[in-house]
Amino acid sequence: MRTKRSHWFDSTLPLLVGMGQVWGSMAAQRAQVDPADPSTRVPLDPIGFALLTVGPLALVARRAHPVATLWVAIVATCVYIYSAFAYGPVFISPIIAIFNAVLTGHRRAAWAAGGSLFLFFAAYATWLLPRPQGWLHHASVGAIILVVLTGAEMARARREQRVERERVEEEEARRQASEERLNMAQELHDVLGHSISLIHVQASTALHLIDEHPEQARTALATIKQASKDVLTEMRAVLGVLRDGAPRSPAAGLGQLDELIERTGLDVTRETEGAPRPLPPGVERATYRIIQESLTNVTKHAPGSRATVTIMYGPEELCVRVADSGATGPSPLTGEGGGNGIPGMRERATALGGSLTARAHQAGFLVEARLPIPPVEGTESPEETE
């Protein structure tokens, strides 16, 4: 995207080059023109001034017609030199035209123009000057032209590297945004799946008990009220990251595990093995969501069962187990089909380099996830010990 500054520079460059070539050549001819010496350069006349402005005027079209601009500047310069006018700033416009041609991708035209300019100077200095020049002069002219072309190629390479770097950064930003959207979708799935399933179960229970046991139905309705409030809070926390400057609520983690267990209304035993320690944010969030989804499945498919949540801290692995004792009555969601819970949990574990198994266990069901975690400071891994 072109800025106002670059637009101003593009508009004024031909004018600046034209002024520089005219005034610079007028100054240069003072040292190169001697009326008493017929072998010196000739003073500027209307034709000379016109040739000095042809190249700068051609630069106006350098964006739309870079090759035509290049050859017009080269030809105007050659005619100017052939007419024996003073050497000097007349070479500014062909240099800019060469750079512009290379930068816009017309490298062959730029090198062909440079080669043509060299051949012209070699022929002019050998056969048309009153005092012919030798190979040293030709080598110097060729070296200057080669430096200009090399500089243009280096500028082109740097520009391409910058463009490629910007493209990679944009792709990386899009990839990160896509991953963030997927993470948010997964978070919303887990939040809604858990809370809506809990509300459904409790609503079914309330409908079943409202006539014969109204007090128990009241408890179920209170659970529905709290669950709906909690799901709204979590949804605002997840969706709040879409608003610029919106504060982020604390991410779901093991610190909210007791609240999660209380919301389910299940008889849950929580066990911890090993010394608890801080976990990476991704591992802690995945652990919370796996436990949440597992307890949701217990609520949906094993009503009345007891559940055990076990978190084991190993040297380099966190093991999470959620087991239930089996349903004691018919599920209110019987016949509604399965969901995406277990595949979603397995994807979370796999994304972190871990694994998840879900299988029947005794009279109930067992979900076990193993997630890699950083080793405890001061301990060595088995590989290092060997």
Higher per-residue pLDDT: 227 or 274: 274
User: Would 156 be classed as within a structural domain?
Assistant: no
pLDDT over 80 (residue 223): no
Q: Worst-scoring range by mean pLDDT, 46-55, 92-101, 208-217, 267-276?
A: 208-217
pLDDT band, very low/low/confident/very high, at 172 (cuts 50, 70, 90):
very high
Residue 277's domain comprises: 254-386
pLDDT band, very low/low/confident/very high, at 321 (cuts 50, 70, 90):
very high
8 Å CB contact between 153 and 107:
yes
Beta bridge partners of 372: 317
pLDDT at 2: 57
- In terms of C-beta density within 10 A (0-12 exposed, 13-18 middle, 19 or more buried), how is residue 166 classed? exposed
User: Would 301 be classed as within a structural domain?
Assistant: yes
Coil vs helix vs strand at 84: coil
pLDDT over 60 (residue 381): no
pLDDT over 90 (residue 3): no
pLDDT over 50 (residue 248): no
Q: What is the DSSP string of 125-182?
A: IIIISSS---HHHHHHHHHHHHHHHHHHHHHHHHHHHHHHHHHHHHHHHHHHHHHHHH
Coil vs helix vs strand at 322: strand
Higher per-residue pLDDT: 129 or 327: 129
8 Å CB contact between 12 and 3:
no
Rounded to whole angstroms, the Cα distance separating 271 from 357 reads 19
H or E element at residue 95: helix 92-103
pLDDT band, very low/low/confident/very high, at 100 (cuts 50, 70, 90):
very high
Q: Worst-scoring range by mean pLDDT, 55-69, 143-157, 166-180?
A: 166-180
pLDDT band, very low/low/confident/very high, at 282 (cuts 50, 70, 90):
confident
User: Would 224 be classed as within a structural domain?
Assistant: no
Under DSSP, the state recorded for 124 is: I
Domain boundary among 133, 164, 186: 133
pLDDT at 220: 73
pLDDT tens-digit map of 76-86: 999 999 999 99
User: Would 286 be classed as within a structural domain?
Assistant: yes
pLDDT tens-digit map of 339-373: 677 888 898 899 899 999 999 988 889 999 999 99
Domain boundary among 100, 133, 166: 133
User: Would 386 be classed as within a structural domain?
Assistant: yes
8 Å CB contact between 112 and 94:
no
Cβ-based neighbours of 287, under 8 Å, separated by 6 or more: 253, 254, 279, 311, 318, 320, 369, 371
User: Would 315 be classed as within a structural domain?
Assistant: yes
Rounded to whole angstroms, the Cα distance separating 66 from 208 reads 82
User: Would 164 be classed as within a structural domain?
Assistant: no
In the chain, what percentage of residues exceed pLDDT 70?
87
User: Would 107 be classed as within a structural domain?
Assistant: yes
Degrees, nearest 5: CA angle 362-338-208: 85
Q: What is the mean pLDDT of the chain?
A: 85
Average pLDDT of the segment spanning 198-225: 75
Q: Worst-scoring range by mean pLDDT, 143-147, 298-302, 346-350?
A: 298-302
Average pLDDT of the segment spanning 236-244: 62
pLDDT band, very low/low/confident/very high, at 246 (cuts 50, 70, 90):
very low
Higher per-residue pLDDT: 174 or 103: 103
pLDDT over 70 (residue 333): no
Average pLDDT of the segment spanning 301-328: 90
Domain boundary among 84, 107, 133: 133
AA identity, residue 114: G
Rounded to whole angstroms, the Cα distance separating 102 from 150 reads 10
Cβ-based neighbours of 154, under 8 Å, separated by 6 or more: none
Q: What are the two backbone dihedrals, phi and then psi, of residue 42, each rounded to the nearest 5 degrees?
A: -100, 150
CATH number at residue 324: 3.30.565.10
Domains identified in the chain, total number? 2
8 Å CB contact between 318 and 283:
yes
Conformational region of residue 62, where left means phi above 0, alpha means psi within -120 to 50, and beta covers everything else: alpha
Coil vs helix vs strand at 268: strand
